[in-house]
């Protein structure tokens, strides 16, 4: 330590004999210069520097501070609203698909097929795609596509002697069946009955008759006079089923593919189940696509119509 007497500079220093590191921040130091003295307080002499090094950083704890109840409510409300809007848009797209053009239908189904077969090559996917000529547009039907209007829709668009109606579920099969005047013109083919019974019924309705010409004339004469029994195969036109059940039936019999007469396939595509799925987005959609392609390949004069 240097003392005042050791400096030959003409100044009289009065410094307490304490170590520098023992001076507190608020302790004053007196400097004597001639007849004047300056008293400086260490703590008061400090001035904060306006540099980035002295800005208090935001801690990770502060950045992860949980949202308030109001902030959570606003965030959840916004997210929920966007989710509702997206669900309504998707619902509208599904329900309006049957009203679209054949180009729109083919494009929608192509997207669905790609999504369900991500591992297939472009060439393999091309074999699964549908063509515009596979469908008949039903854009001109302006009524709401409800059960009450299904009979009117069928009357307007069904021009073939036989028609298949594919529905998403057993319950929907029963609903469509009732809308088509019940048993007089339609049959139900679904899992409520045994598969072998459905196959037997299809065979009895579609199998070629073995009656002789004389017996056919006799039956026709009786029918015209109202005295004979009407042949059920001459009355039944609509075969209502689910994709899964019909697929099992055609695996057991090929009668649906025989003959050169036209065949219409109506797909109940506007119906939404409780989870807002249509027949094209249901669990059986892959079976539906394969079934439709099989009919197009094995049966002549097949057209697909969406309701």
Give dist(CA 159, CA 264) in Å, integer.
8
Residue (of 269, 251, 262) closest to 202 by Cα position: 251
Tell me the domain boundaries of the chain.
1-63, 80-207+232-306
CA distance 293 to 128: 8
Q: Give the full edge-to-edge strand order of the sheet including 238-241.
A: 186-189, 238-241, 162-166, 263-267, 302-306
Per-residue confidence of the chain (307 residues) as pLDDT tens digits? 555 555 555 555 555 554 444 444 554 545 444 444 444 444 444 555 444 445 455 455 555 667 677 766 666 777 777 877 788 888 888 889 999 999 999 999 999 999 999 999 999 999 999 999 999 999 999 999 999 999 999 999 998 999 999 999 999 999 999 998 766 789 999 999 999 999 999 999 998 876 545 445 544 543 444 444 555 566 889 999 999 999 999 999 999 999 999 999 999 999 999 999 999 999 999 999 999 999 999 998 999 999 9
Q: Under a CB-based contact definition with an 8 Å cutoff, are residues 243 and 267 in contact?
A: no
> Cα(126)–Cα(41) distance, rounded to whole angstroms?
88
- The pLDDT of residue 182 is 61
pTM of the predicted model as reported, rounded to 2 decimal places = 0.69
Which pLDDT does position 2 carry in this prediction?
53
Sign of CA dihedral 287, 290, 295, 298: negative
Round to whole Å and give the CA distance between 86 and 79: 11
Query: Could you tell me which residues are beta bridge partners of residue 240?
Result: 165, 188
Burial of 262 by CB count in 10 Å (0-12 exposed, 13-18 middle, 19+ buried)? middle
Q: Are the CB atoms for 278 and 271 separated by under 8 Å?
A: yes
pLDDT at 225: 47
> Under 8 Å CB-to-CB from 2, ≥6 apart: which residues?
none
Kindly tell me the sign of the dihedral angle through the C-alpha atoms of 278, 283, 288, 289. positive
Please choose, from the candidates 296, 181, 173, the residue with its C-alpha nearest in 3D space to the C-alpha of residue 236.
181
For position 221, what pLDDT does the model report?
46
**pLDDT by residue (tens digit) across 97-121?**
999 999 999 999 999 999 999 999 9
| pLDDT score for 88 | 83
pLDDT for res 82: 81
Task: Assign domain 80-207+232-306 one CATH number from 3.40.50.300, 3.10.20.310, 3.40.50.720, 3.40.640.10.
Answer: 3.40.50.300
Strand partners, 303: 264
Q: Following DSSP, what letter does each residue of 93-113 receive, concatenated?
A: HHHHGGGS-HHHHHHHHHHHH
List alpha helices for 239-284, DSSP H: 243-252
- Chain centroid, CA 276 distance in Å: 8
Give the CA angle between residues 8, 10, 14 to the nearest 5°: 90
The answer to whether the beta carbons of residues 92 and 301 sit under 8 Å apart is no
pLDDT at position 5 is 54
* Pairing assessment for the beta strands 36-41 and 28-33 based on DSSP bridges: antiparallel
Q: Give the per-residue pLDDT at 81.
A: 78
CB atoms within 10 A of CB 296: 17
Cα–Cα distance between 182 and 187 in angstroms, integer?
A: 8
Which two tokens mark 222? 């009786």
């Amino acid at each position: 330590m240097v003392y005042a007497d050791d400096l030959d500079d003409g100044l009289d220093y009065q410094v307490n004999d304490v170590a520098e590191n023992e001076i507190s921040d608020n302790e004053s130091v007196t400097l004597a210069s001639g007849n004047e003295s300056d008293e400086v307080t260490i703590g008061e002499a400090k001035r904060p520097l306006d540099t980035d090094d002295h800005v208090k950083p935001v801690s990770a704890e502060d950045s992860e501070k949980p949202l308030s109840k109001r902030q959570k409510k606003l965030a959840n409300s916004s997210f929920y609203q966007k989710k509702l809007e997206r669900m309504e848009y998707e619902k509208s797209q599904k329900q309006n698909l049957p009203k679209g053009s054949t180009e729109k239908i083919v494009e929608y189904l192509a997207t669905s097929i790609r999504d369900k077969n991500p591992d297939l090559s472009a060439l393999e996917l091309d074999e699964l795609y549908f063509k515009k000529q596979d469908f008949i547009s039903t854009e001109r039907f302006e009524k709401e596509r409800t059960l009450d209007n299904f009979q009117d829709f069928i009357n307007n668009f069904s021009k073939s002697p036989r028609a298949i109606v594919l529905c998403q579920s057993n319950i929907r099969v029963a609903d469509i069946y009732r809308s088509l005047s019940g048993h007089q013109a339609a049959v139900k083919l679904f899992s409520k009955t045994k598969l072998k019974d459905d196959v037997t019924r299809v065979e009895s309705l579609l199998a070629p008759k073995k009656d002789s010409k004389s017996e056919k004339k006799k039956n026709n004469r009786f029918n015209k006079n109202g005295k004979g029994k009407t042949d059920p195969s001459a009355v039944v036109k609509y075969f209502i089923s689910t994709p899964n059940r019909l697929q099992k039936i055609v695996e057991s019999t090929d009668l649906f593919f025989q003959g050169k007469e036209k065949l219409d396939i109506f797909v109940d595509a506007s119906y939404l189940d409780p989870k807002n799925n249509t027949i094209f987005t249901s669990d059986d959609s892959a079976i539906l696509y394969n079934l439709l392609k099989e009919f197009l390949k094995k049966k002549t004069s097949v057209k697909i119509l969406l309701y």
